[in-house]
Structure 1
Amino acid sequence: MGKILLVDDDKATNFYNQIILKRNKVDYEIKVLENGLMAMEYIQGNTLPDFIFLDINMPVMDGFQFLKAYEGFLKGETNNTKIYVMMSVVLSLEKLQELENYKYVKVLNSKMLTNSQINKILKT
């Protein structure tokens, strides 16, 4: 069984995303973490997850800070983790370009997962 990390400080979003993942019967362990620092601490002590759904705006360590720390943790090694940045705000062109520098990161324009996204991302 693989692993999914939901990294978001919004409890309602995490609750909803857990429910929709379970309703779609995905074969992954789902771990919920409230900020990037908690996610980094989890990753450092466990095997890398298959997927990370990452909010950008969080306290303690935001999504951009997490991505930089994650790259430092990998030390240039490749891995199969796919990271989906979930956004509920519009980012500046500069910030969007910064996200494009991470080859393994894709952007979702909503923090709430949908059935079609789950089918496209997790079941293919």
Structure 2
Amino acid sequence: MSKILLVDDDTATNFYNKYILKKNNIDYEIITRDNGLSALEYIKNNSFPKYIFLDINMPIMDGIQFLEEAKKWAKEELEKVKVFVMMSVSLPEEKLKKLQTIQKIEILNKKVLTDMDINTIF
């Protein structure tokens, strides 16, 4: 079964995004992690997900660090993953450029998914 990885330090955000995915009958295994290090450990011990919904500002390991580390040891696998960066505040231009050099991403300027997002993505 294909997987979706939700990575956000806010438990309520992960809970809601998982709920909205299930409500829209997205037939993927949904895994949640609360920081980049935990997400990195998950993908090292399991297969890569098809989609990653990633917060940037998190404790322990942020989203940029997560992508940098994943790319170091699994560049080809990471390039097959669709990464959505979810944020409620704007990132400085240098961080956006850095993200784009690490991985092809799509920016969602919000922290929670909507039915319309689900219909567009899936």
TM-score (norm 2): 0.93
Aligned partner of 1:116: which letter? Answer: M
Which residue of the partner structure matches residue 25 of structure 2?
25
C-alpha displacement of 1:115: 1.0
- 4+ runs of 1 displaced by more than 4 Å? none
Is residue 91 of structure 1 aligned with residue 91 of structure 2? yes
Which residue of the partner structure matches residue 102 of structure 2?
102
C-alpha displacement of 1:103: 4.1
The change in CA–CA distance for 1:116 and 1:102 in structure 2 (over 3 A counts) is farther
Is residue 11 of structure 1 aligned with residue 11 of structure 2? yes
1:33-87 superposed Cα distances (whole Å, 9 cap, x missing partner): 000000000000001100010000100000010010011121x425421111101
User: May I ask how many residue pairs the two structures share in their alignment?
Assistant: 121
Equivalences for 1:43-58 in 2 at 5 Å? 43-58=43-58
Tell me the distance in 2 between the aligned counterparts of 1:100 and 1:114. Answer: 24
Tell me the distance in 2 between the aligned counterparts of 1:103 and 1:41. Answer: 19
Tell me the distance in 2 between the aligned counterparts of 1:56 and 1:101. Answer: 15
TM-score (norm 1): 0.92
Tell me the distance in 2 between the aligned counterparts of 1:58 and 1:103. Answer: 18
Query: CA contact under 8 A between 2:68 and 2:102: conserved in structure 1?
Result: no
RMSD after superposition: 1.2
Moved more, 24-33 or 93-102: 93-102
Aligned partner of 2:51: which letter? Answer: F
C-alpha displacement of 1:114: 1.1
Tell me the distance in 2 between the aligned counterparts of 1:104 and 1:96. Answer: 11
Query: CA contact under 8 A between 1:81 and 1:104: conserved in structure 2?
Result: no
C-alpha displacement of 1:102: 3.3
Tell me the distance in 1 between the aligned counterparts of 2:8 and 2:103. Answer: 21
Tell me the distance in 2 between the aligned counterparts of 1:77 and 1:54. Answer: 19
Q: What are structure 2's unaligned runs of at least 5 residues?
A: none
Higher-helix-fraction structure? 2
Moved more, 96-105 or 58-67: 96-105
Between the aligned residues of both structures, percent identity stands at: 55
Moved more, 99-108 or 27-36: 99-108
